[in-house]
Structure 1
Amino acid sequence: MKLNHINLVVRDVENTVKLFETHFSFRCQAIKGDNAIAILNGADGFILVIMKNKMGIVNYPDAFHIGFILASEEEVIKCYEGLKNGGIDVGKGPGKIRDTFGFYFNFDSLMIEVGYNS
């Protein structure tokens, strides 16, 4: 069995799509409504659906996050620098997190982890 897709709810679909296209190699395949729903494809065929919350409020549980694994510490640093140089508030730079090297940042209503498993 393979996980096919995930649906994430955000306040700003358009800017969230830009984040995933620019920094995480997703490609937007369709936008429905007035930026109400976007369907993105990842390099491995994974489908990411970004949906605007109709009520305007998004509340994920405290520890909820999505994570990306990269091939090296250098790639993690490059991703961090790319986000930072792109005007994204990424906070504290990469470092040791449990058994990985990486960083967390918040964007819209999402917590995102980028790491490398050594």
Structure 2
Amino acid sequence: MGLNHINLVVKEVDQAVSLFADYFGFSLITNRNSKMAVLERSHQFVLVIWGQELNRKDEIPEYPENFHIGFYQEDEGAVREIYNRLKEVEGLKLDSEPKKIRNTFGFYFYFEKLMIEISVNPFKENIA
């Protein structure tokens, strides 16, 4: 059994679509009036961007403490490269430059109040 999709709630659907398409390799399947969008990555994973407006609330949604999503990069150079690209994106909050975190190398940033981790896969050598 595989993970089919994840649903992320955001205030700005179009900005989230751009972030995931431009920086994380997702392709847009549909955007329903900037209120909900469906993206796909490598025909293996679907990401649903659900607009907070559909919840009939105006504020940016809160996620539980330490909730985040993560994207693995091949190596430290790739982590630095995406960090440098993301530094230029208006509206993102980058906590710090890439550095050693736990058993890997990476950084965290925020889109609205959603925490996103970019790091080198610390388990790569153990994956057969």
2:125 — aligned with what? none
For normalisation by structure 2, the TM-score amounts to 0.85
Residues 40-51 of structure 1: pairs in structure 2 closer than 5 A: 40-43=39-42, 45-51=44-50
Provide, for residues 51-77 of structure 1, a one-character-per-residue CA deviation record: whole Å limited to 9, x for no partner.
111312312101100000111111100
Identity %: 42
**Match 2:112 to one of 91, 108, 115:** 108
Give aligned pairs, total.
117
In the alignment, residue 56 of structure 1 is paired with which amino acid?
Answer: D
Structure 1 regions of 5+ residues with no counterpart?
none
The structure showing larger relative contact order (alpha-carbon pairs under 8 Å, at least 6 residues apart) is 1
SS at match of 1:101: strand
Structure 2 regions of 5+ residues with no counterpart?
123-128
State how far apart, in whole Å, the 1-side matches of 2:78 and 2:5 are.
Answer: 25
Which of the pair has more CA radius of gyration?
A: 2
State how far apart, in whole Å, the 2-side matches of 1:41 and 1:5 are.
Answer: 9
In the alignment, residue 78 of structure 2 is paired with which amino acid?
Answer: E
For normalisation by structure 1, the TM-score amounts to 0.92
SS at match of 2:44: coil
CA RMSD of aligned residues (A): 1.3
**Match 1:65 to one of 63, 68, 71:** 68
State how far apart, in whole Å, the 1-side matches of 2:85 and 2:95 are.
Answer: 13
